[in-house]
Amino acid sequence: MAAAAALLKEPLPPLMCPPKRVPTPTPERLCCGRGVAPGTLEGWALRCCHGNGRGLAEPGGSRSLPGSAMAGSERCRRARATWEVSESEPEAEPGPHGPSAAPEGSPPAAAAVRPKRRRTAGEAKTRRRERQRRKEQEALEKREAAAAWRLLRPERCLRLLEVCVDPGFLEDPGSDIWIEALSSLDCKHSFKPQAIPCSITWRRNMPSIPSAPDDCMVKTEEEKEVLVLLEPADFLKRLYSLTQTFVDASSGSQPDLNQVLPLASLEGSSTKTYSLAVVGLDAYRCNQEQNGWQALSPAKQSPRSQPGPELFMTQQEILEAQVVLQLWGNIDVQLLDTWQEFGEHVSALTKAIARRPYKSQLEMQELSFCTAGVSGKGLRVEKDGTGLWQVWKRQIQQFNRVSPATAAAIAEAYPSPGLLVQAYEECSTEDERLLLLSNIPVKSDTSGKDHRVGPDLSRRVYLFMVSTNPDLILDLTV
């Protein structure tokens, strides 16, 4: 008993726990009686997590599960098996389990694609209708744009313009002459009272639906141009009043343009562009000089017959006053001799106003002179190369002060830009390159005298062909 008591008092040696077994994943393992496919346990340190306290058992081996483990296996058959990942190994995405798992070394299976929900017949029909509606809308917009463009073309644009003439023009003796010239145009004209007496305005009647101009509403737009007709005597008085403001005003002050054209009381005058027309000014001044007012003695002259100071204005003073109107007020003055010239001026102004939208659309295009543009005035080049020579000639003609005959002479000597560049490369000196085209003869059809291209054009063409500076100004380069 004493020996036994002594043994009990001695400290017990520490218990040595066997190390956990990390099984190799090659054969199939059993966890709580469930199978794990080989190849799915690689890199995992595994132990059963269902409370049986044991690791994996190899099937078919000498080791068997005790009763408690079997009981745990029975419980785990009814519960989902979970595995704990060792912190010493990187976590990886577990593969599929069970007999259908992929064998070891096989590529990973693709992610499952969620099947698309098939559209119903109603949804498909709605989508087709929406797609058809968009196509019809795009086609309609294209037709409207093409119809609007056709209305703006030079041969049809005058039909949209209406010339509004003040009834005061009918009092002039030569009104029938210029109204007849206006009637020859393919445009409408009407007599309506204007804000300024004896003035002409323009307005454009644009249909709201260009493809059907006769069956739709018309949108009227007022143009900004206003042409005012002044009598010679009235014009001279206004100019004289304007020149007096130069004398009285201090240096640097703006002249009072209301002396010529009172616009302060007019609504929307700031958005308008005014121009003046005077018919028969020179004849009026000559007539006043022939009356011999200055030769009459003061005793024979009545106060009414005294000539005004405006009659003594020189031609230089009249021109200076016109320059002031142009620079300060953007008012152009046309001095015309006959009513026929006035009618031609009104016709030219009407055509320019009618064609302005068409030219604005052309300027918005990058290359309006190409055949791809809407103008259709470009030169067409066929697939076999027909037309390239005409294009090369047109390019040369785009230089300043180059006639069609001169461009044709250069194009005949060097039928392509490549041949011209090759000729430049064969020249030995810079002066020879600059004067390469100067001695090419040019046949003139109008004057009948032959001349040569000349050194100036030869220099400009050479600089254009070889220069790499996009900002080079050919006319100013020496």
| Residue keyed to tokens 């007020």 | 329
Q: Tell me, yes or no, whether 347 and 401 share the same domain.
A: no
The answer to whether 291 and 209 have CB atoms below 8 angstroms apart is: no
What the block records as the tokens of 198 is: 């004896």
DSSP state of 390: H
Nearest to 101, CA basis, from 38, 44, 30: 38
> 162 phi and psi, to 5 degrees?
-125, 130
Token output for 290: 């022939």
> 407 in a domain, yes or no?
yes
Question: Is 247 in the same domain as 325?
Answer: yes
Which of 346, 336, 338, 335 has its CA nearest to residue 179? 346
How far is residue 256's CA from residue 325's CA, in Å, rounded to a whole number?
A: 10
Sign of CA dihedral 343, 344, 345, 350: positive
Instruction: Judge whether 326 and 332 are in contact, CB under 8 Å.
Output: yes
Does residue 304 form part of some domain? Answer: no
Residues of the chain with pLDDT under 70: 1-116, 208-217, 247-253, 262-269, 291-307, 365-378, 445-448, 476-478
- Same-domain status, 176 and 61: no
Regarding whether 268 and 169 lie in a shared domain, the answer is yes
What's at 281, amino acid-wise? L
Instruction: Check: CB of residue 208 under 8 Å from CB of residue 216.
Output: yes
Hey, which bits of 183-282 come out as E strands?
Answer: 188-191, 199-207, 218-230, 273-279
73-88 pLDDT tens trace? 455 455 444 444 444 4
Q: If you write DSSP's letter for every residue of 179-194 in order, what string do you get?
A: HHHHHTSSSEEEE---
Q: How far apart are the C-alpha atoms of 111 and 433, rounded to whole Å?
A: 71
Residue carrying structure tokens 């194009």: 411
User: Is residue 235 within 8 Å of 278, Cβ to Cβ?
Assistant: yes
Q: What is the DSSP letter of 96?
A: -
User: Is 279 part of any domain?
Assistant: yes
Predicted confidence at residue 55, as pLDDT, reads 45
Residues in the chain, total: 478
Residue 63 located in a structural domain: yes
In a domain, 328, yes or no: yes
Across 158-171, b (16+ Cβ under 10 Å) vs e yields bebbbbbbbebbee
Domain termination site, one of 71, 91, 111: 91
Output the pLDDT for position 350: 92
One domain, residues 398 and 339: no
Token pair of 422 as six digits = 């090759």
pLDDT at position 303, please? 54
Query: Beta partners for 334?
Result: 277
- 30 beta partners: 35, 57
Mapping DSSP onto H, E and C, the string for 424-467 reads HHHCCCHHHHHCCCCCCEECCCCCCCCEECCHHHHHHHHHHHHC
- Is 221 contained in some domain? yes
Label residues 136-155 b or e (16+ Cβ within 10 Å = b).
eeeeeeeeeeeebeebbeee
Task: Specify whether 349 is located in the same domain as 400.
Answer: no
Taken in order 225, 229, 232, 237, the sign of the CA dihedral is negative
Report the amino acid identity of residue 125.
K
- Final residue in a domain of this structure, among 91, 124, 148: 91
Q: Report the C-alpha gap between 232 and 230 in whole angstroms.
A: 6
Q: Per-residue pLDDT tens for 126-166?
A: 888 999 999 999 988 888 877 777 777 777 888 888 999 99
Do 267 and 403 lie in one domain? The reply is no
209 and 342 co-located in one domain: yes
- 329 lies in the same domain as 247: yes
In which domain, by residue range, is 183 found? 157-292+309-363
Give the per-residue pLDDT at 412.
93
Last residue of a domain, one of 38, 70, 91: 91
Q: Same structural domain for residues 274 and 316? A: yes
CATH number of the domain bearing residue 434 = 1.10.150.670
Report the alpha-carbon angle 327-331-333, nearest 5: 110
Pick from 190, 258, 274, 269: nearest CA to 226 = 274
Q: How far is 277 from 255, CA to CA, in rounded Å?
A: 21
Residue 212 sits in the same domain as residue 249 = yes
DSSP-assigned letter for residue 368:
T
H/E stretch holding 35: strand 34-36
* String of DSSP letters for 42-71: TT------SS-----B-TTSS----HHHHH
E strands present in 96-160? none
Residue 170: give its domain's CATH number: 3.40.50.10130
Neighbours of 87 (CB within 10 A): 7
pLDDT of residue 220: 85
Task: Report pLDDT for 68.
Answer: 47
Which long-range contacts (C-beta less than 8 Å, at least 24 apart) are formed by 58-64?
A: 58/23, 58/27, 58/29, 58/30, 59/27, 59/28, 59/29, 59/30
Q: In this structure, are 350 and 444 located in the same domain?
A: no
Q: Is residue 261 part of a domain?
A: yes
Provide the number of structural domains found in the chain.
Answer: 3
Q: Among residues 274, 284, 167, which one has the least CA distance to residue 237?
A: 284
Using alpha carbons, select from 164, 147, 149, 262 the residue that is nearest to residue 214: 147
Residue 442 placed within a domain? yes
Structure tokens at 294: 């200055």
